[in-house]
Amino acid sequence: MSSTHALRANLVSRFAIALLLPLLGCGDSDGKVSILLTDAPGDGIETAVVTISQIYLQGGDDEGGRVVLRDEPVTVSLLDLANSTSELVSEAVVPNGDYSQLRFVITGGYLETKNEDGTTSIFATSNDYAGLPSGAVVTGQLHMPSYGSSGLKVKFDEKLTIEGEQKILLVDFDVAQSFGKEAGGSNRWVMSPVIKAAEVTASASINVEVKLGAGVVLPTVEGRGLTLADLHAVLINDAGSRETLPLTDADANGTFEARFKFLIPGTFQVELESPAGLSLSTTPGHPITVQLASGRDSTQAFVVSGAQPQ
């Protein structure tokens, strides 16, 4: 992001795009590509919307070999895709060959941010951006440099080779590191993406399990008896972006769980977030560092060994 950006937004969101190439078998047949979009919730951001007008693969020489996967505009509300996916492209035919980049032509968008006084402000690429809700008042500009022309570039760690076989790629767009507000009272936000890519077959999930230890009972705080459902699991990636999920006991067996999906392999911190007024101790202690390996889900189990009101 430009050196003029003194502030990084306290956005804790990221979105991931999974490219699914159906099993066609090796040979001379062209491949097919589908694209799924996912995102995670944001802290301080009420709404994040972008319009993607075209999606294409760029040939290995970066000068030719462009293959358009989608040329019909789609407007996506990113925060509605928390820990889930939405299909953008379904089985687009892709000639065999090498591809160096995936590109998204983004022609508009807006952010709605929460102010310190509890009000919200809207920053849009234009006052008449078609994706704005009816009656919205734009208070500042959202700048997306060149993404409406050359497109947002997603480079692969290694060249993408299409040979008719099944391939799955995951592209992780970390919004927490990709939006910032300019300093100096310019009233403008700028989009400057930080993106990682990996094989979806090498991506994984982190499952968090929490249960009460023998004889442990959560206390009453402000007249309300607490349960494990009042806790949240928090995942922090190596860039500092946070994702928070509630703990639930779907099968009513006393173990409360949360699952963080569509993760690029790497280093993460997992911790538990307690409601105000509760001091919690666990075995093992938290936060805990997780080194997520390619294609291997990880389960982190915590036992609440002590709980008392603060």
Residue 267 burial (C-beta neighbours within 10 Å; 0-12, 13-18, 19+): exposed
Distance (Å, whole) CA 20 – CA 170:
9
Distance (Å, whole) CA 114 – CA 26:
51
C-alpha angle with apex 254: 250 to 257, nearest 5 degrees? 50
Residue 149 burial (C-beta neighbours within 10 Å; 0-12, 13-18, 19+): exposed
Q: What is the pLDDT of residues 137-183, one digit of tens each?
A: 999 999 988 788 878 887 776 778 888 765 666 677 776 667 777 76
Residues pairing with 220 in the sheet: 225
Q: What is the residue type of 89? A: V
pLDDT confidence of residue 122: 94
CA 159 to chain centre: 23
pLDDT confidence of residue 60: 64
pLDDT confidence of residue 294: 75
Distance (Å, whole) CA 1 – CA 11:
15
**Residue found under tokens 């160096």:** 100
Distance (Å, whole) CA 276 – CA 222:
10
pLDDT confidence of residue 12: 38
pLDDT confidence of residue 6: 32
Distance (Å, whole) CA 247 – CA 249:
7
pLDDT confidence of residue 267: 93
- The list of the chain residues with pLDDT below 50 reads 1-14, 20-27, 62-63
CA 35 to chain centre: 15
Which of helix, strand or coil describes residue 230?
Answer: helix
Instruction: Indicate yes or no: pTM above 0.85.
Output: no
| 132-147: b (≥16 Cβ within 10 Å) or e | beeeeebebbbbbeeb
Q: What is the pLDDT of residues 68-87, one digit of tens each?
A: 999 999 998 877 776 666 77
